[in-house]
Structure formats: C-alpha cells, structure tokens
Amino acid sequence: MPTQKPNVIFITTDQQRYDTIAANGYPHMITPTLDRMIADGVNVENCFVQNPVCMASRSSIWTGRYPQNHGVTTNGIQLPKTEVTMAHTFLQNGYHTANIGKLHFVPHKGEGRDHSINATVYSGYGYEYNLVSEAPGPYPDDYMSWVEREAPQYIDGVRYRLAQSVGPESLFDLWDFQAPEEIHNTAWVATQTREFLLNYRDPRPFFLTVGFFYPHPPLNPPRSYVDMYDPATIPMPTQHPSDMARSRNAGVSDETWRQMRRYYYALVTQIDRHLATILETLQAAGLADNTIVVFLSDHGEMLGDHCETSKGPSNYDEILHVPCIFYAPWLLPSKRKVSGLVEAIDVFPTVADLCGVRLERGVKGRSIAAALKGETDETRPDVLAEYKDTRNGIHVKTLRDERYKYFYYGDGREVLYDLADADQEVIDHAAEPEYEPTIQALRKRLLTRLMQAQDDLPPKTHDW
C-alpha cells in the first residue's frame, strides 16, 4: 500500500436506471466503458436509493444519512449547511475536495437571470473547488458561462426552458442536440474532469465528485448517439392492463415509447464514451494505481414501465434500483459481484473505509468494504426509502427485502407487493388474509428500521 491515502473520483449520473448497462444483463445497451468497469471492478447489483427524487436522494448519498435525518425529504428543500457532507469529511482528513458538474443541494428557482448557480451559492458544503452545473441551459452557471466564452455562436442551441427538463411530460419532448458534441453538458463535465486530472499538483490526495446531469431530460443527445440504436431492437416497456387503466399515458404508441427509450439510451451511451476518456486520462496522468473510481446514479426513471414516466413516490424498482460500481483494479477484486441488498447511503461510508478516512457522527450508512473485497457476502436484509412532501401531501415509507416490498403511508394505508409474482409490483396483497402474517412481520421490521434510522444528533457527550 502506498503511504498516501488513495484519490477518489465519485461519479454520479442523474436518473439512470439499473438496466441501462449491457453488463448488468441488458445486451440492447451500448455501454463498453461501464461494461469494462464492471469486468475489472466490483458490481453492486442491488443498490437502492433512499428517496425517489433528486435533491433528497443526493442529500442522502452525500451525507450517508436518511431523508428524515437531514430533512430533505423531497425536491425543493435546501440541504442545511449544518449537515456534514462527504466533501467536509474528506477535507477534514487531509484531502483536496473538488466538484465538477451537478450537485443539486439548492432548489431550482424561476427561469432566467433571477437565479444563478455557482461556487458562491455552494459555499459551506465542503468543496474547495467547484465548477457547478445543475440543469444545464435554463439559467447562468459555470457551464453556461463556458459556452458563452468558448462557443457563443451555439448558446441558443444549448439553452432550453426549465419546464423542458422537469415533470413526466418532459420525457416525450425529444430533439437532437443543436451544437457540436463538445459543447454538450456531458462533454463539458468530462473535459473539465480531464483538465483537473492533468493539472493536479496539490500534494494532498483528491476527493473529486463528477456529476453528469444526463440521462435526465431533456432527452437531447447528439444525433450520432441516437443513430447507434435501431428502434426495432429497443425493448418495449412492461405495462400491465391495470397500469394502463389508471394511466394518462395509456394511448401512447409503441413507436413513441421506443423513440423515448432510444433517446434516453443514447444519452447513457454518450456518458459511457466520455467515461472512457476520463479513465484514459487517469492512466495518462499516472493516477490510475492510486485512485478509487465510484459510479452511482441518484435514482432511476420509469421510461414507460407501468405506463409511467419520470420518477417520484411510487417507489417502483425502476426508480429506486440504481447502478453502483466500485472500480479500483489495484485495490479491489475484478469481476466481483455483490448481490445482497445495499443502500445508497452505504456508498460514502464504504469509500471512507477504503481510504482510511474517519467518519463524523451521524452517518447512518454502513461500509460494505468487506463485501467488496470478497471477505463476506453479507450486506443488508432489507432497504428503506422515505418520501414526504408537504405540498402534495404524500408521506410514504417503503421497506424492500429480497421477496417483498411494503409501503406504509402517512394516512395509515398499506400496500404489499410480492416480488415473486409474475407481474412485478402490480398486485397489492395488503388486504389478502394469507398475507396477514407477512404484513405483520414487515410492519414490525419497518418500525424497527425507523427506530434505528432516528438521528443520533445532537450527540450525548456527558453522563448528566
């Protein structure tokens, strides 16, 4: 082992579901780089996020804490600056901390120039260096400043309205990127990352978060990536008649679903190509043998399954189940698969553990470093997701184990899915007498999990 602590590149994508990587068993996808990271790294096959939307899930990933702990239980709530992030923790342990791309700890505001995103807005979250871009296009940020400076003739091709990137309708609005590929936000994130790596001179190890905004809508990949996918080979969404009966998307044509998926997959393939350039640069900069690369998404996307689009508190597996890869061939085994259940809040404590970095109090995630190394196959018996929005009135806790998925709502309503059913998450068994012992056991386990999830802050420091 080198005496210096390892560097970390913690890569996140936005809204990328688990089944978008060929090596995860989905050969219709074109993802050679992610496939290679899985082949040469450790694939965490059952990682679930703790909240189904951006800000809350990211707040949990960055703090290692449940939504009820940091208070960001849905979108539109700012992560309190009293929370200790991964960046704070690594900074305290002698790291240089940097971010390139999306964070989304601060709510989106209105269109246009009443809102800017920059390092000043993001001061207090533990980053020494921050090139931030949240929703590339609608308002000023470091990406839009770069386009204005480097390629002002393309500014109108880059700009879109915030409404085109949020909500279930945004998935139906497809267009080809109207500028050269190197101007696309995905390319910008990768270019800035390569420059960071090539110019890194600080004697400290670095902790770098790289936040790709895509494949989040708007679904506007460069045309060359769209052309890589033949619509005829794209699998149709899974839609049960009961899903269609209650969905406003019931009349959407097969052709529309296939084109939506094609554009979304194209954005994944574009990211994959740019990941390759980051890994090549890591090698060229002589950093590959002392850097841990983590790949994670903040939540998934319905993409027409259950006749739905976007994400949210339905908490379907399409939303909660995300890709999670640890790639460090110099440190961790190759071709290893961790198949047990893992929570996304476990990823930060795991990276800290691998780096010998001490966690602050309040972290609720648990290191799975021993499972990554092959010393154990044990992970968690179940995973928890929490959502609460005072505006739409939805409050739900979801407990998922390998067989069942159990929902408890704020009004006392319960839903139970048996994952052994032929149709996944379609039939609610909560009121069926033969499931009564199961639901009793799950109710008790959820209560126990919630007791354990309750915050330990402020800490007890004295006997009396």
Which residue stretch of 6-14, 225-233, 411-419, 456-464 sits at the interface with Ca ion (rule: CB under 5 A)?
Answer: 6-14
- Per rule CB under 5 A, count of chain residues that contact Ca ion: 4
**Binding of Ca ion by 54 (CB under 5 A):** yes
Q: Which structure tokens are listed for 428?
A: 């609610």
Contact assessment for residue 442 and residue 429, using Cβ atoms and an 8 Å cutoff? no
One symbol per residue from 15 to 34: x for binding Ca ion (CB under 5 A), - otherwise; what is it? x-------------------
The Cα–Cα gap between 291 and 225 comes to 30
**Distance in Å, CB of 13 to Ca ion, minimum:** 9
Which residue stretch of 22-30, 193-201, 294-302, 441-449 sits at the interface with Ca ion (rule: CB under 5 A)?
Answer: 294-302
The Cα–Cα gap between 57 and 66 comes to 9
If the CB atoms of residues 345 and 369 are measured against Ca ion, the closer one turns out to be 345
DSSP H helices, 285-388, are 317-320, 347-355, 369-372
If the CB atoms of residues 271 and 369 are measured against Ca ion, the closer one turns out to be 271
**Distance in Å, CB of 52 to Ca ion, minimum:** 9
Radius of gyration of the chain (CA): 21
> Residue-wise over 389-428: b if at least 16 C-beta within 10 A, else e?
beeeebbbbbbbeeebbbbbeeeeebbbbbeeeeebbeee
If the CB atoms of residues 305 and 382 are measured against Ca ion, the closer one turns out to be 305
Contact assessment for residue 325 and residue 34, using Cβ atoms and an 8 Å cutoff? yes
If the CB atoms of residues 41 and 67 are measured against Ca ion, the closer one turns out to be 67
Element of type H or E holding 389: strand 383-389
Q: What is the per-residue DSSP string for 18-37?
A: GGG-GGGT-TTS--HHHHHH
Stretch 176-235 residues interacting with Ca ion (CB under 5 A):
none
Contact assessment for residue 342 and residue 324, using Cβ atoms and an 8 Å cutoff? yes
If the CB atoms of residues 160 and 408 are measured against Ca ion, the closer one turns out to be 160
Which residue stretch of 94-102, 115-123, 291-299, 337-345 sits at the interface with Ca ion (rule: CB under 5 A)?
Answer: 291-299
**Distance in Å, CB of 16 to Ca ion, minimum:** 9
If the CB atoms of residues 15 and 69 are measured against Ca ion, the closer one turns out to be 15
User: Of 281, 208, 292, nearest to 4 (Cα)?
Assistant: 292
Which residue stretch of 19-27, 228-236, 277-285, 297-305 sits at the interface with Ca ion (rule: CB under 5 A)?
Answer: 297-305
**Distance in Å, CB of 120 to Ca ion, minimum:** 23
**Distance in Å, CB of 78 to Ca ion, minimum:** 16
**Distance in Å, CB of 15 to Ca ion, minimum:** 5
Which residue stretch of 22-30, 47-55, 385-393, 400-408 sits at the interface with Ca ion (rule: CB under 5 A)?
Answer: 47-55
If the CB atoms of residues 49 and 332 are measured against Ca ion, the closer one turns out to be 49
N-terminal to C-terminal alpha carbon distance within the chain: 44
**Distance in Å, CB of 414 to Ca ion, minimum:** 28
User: Of 8, 150, 172, 164, nearest to 90 (Cα)?
Assistant: 8
**Binding of Ca ion by 14 (CB under 5 A):** yes
Nearest residue (beta carbon) to Ca ion? 54
Backbone angle region of 327, left / alpha / beta, with phi > 0 → left and psi within -120 to 50 → alpha: beta
**Distance in Å, CB of 12 to Ca ion, minimum:** 9
If the CB atoms of residues 59 and 281 are measured against Ca ion, the closer one turns out to be 59
Stretch 140-179 residues interacting with Ca ion (CB under 5 A):
none
Among 141, 298, 382, 425, binds Ca ion (CB under 5 A): 298
Instruction: Please state, in angstroms and as integers, the Cα–Cα distance from residue 96 to each residue in 102, 188, 201, 257, following that order.
Output: 18, 22, 11, 44
Which residue stretch of 30-38, 46-54, 159-167, 445-453 sits at the interface with Ca ion (rule: CB under 5 A)?
Answer: 46-54
Is the backbone peptide bond immediately before 458 cis, with ω within 30 degrees of 0?
Answer: yes
Strand 42-48 and strand 321-322: the pairing is: antiparallel
Q: Which structure tokens are listed for 246?
A: 């209650």
**Distance in Å, CB of 219 to Ca ion, minimum:** 14
- Contact positions vs Ca ion (CB under 5 A): 14-15, 54, 298
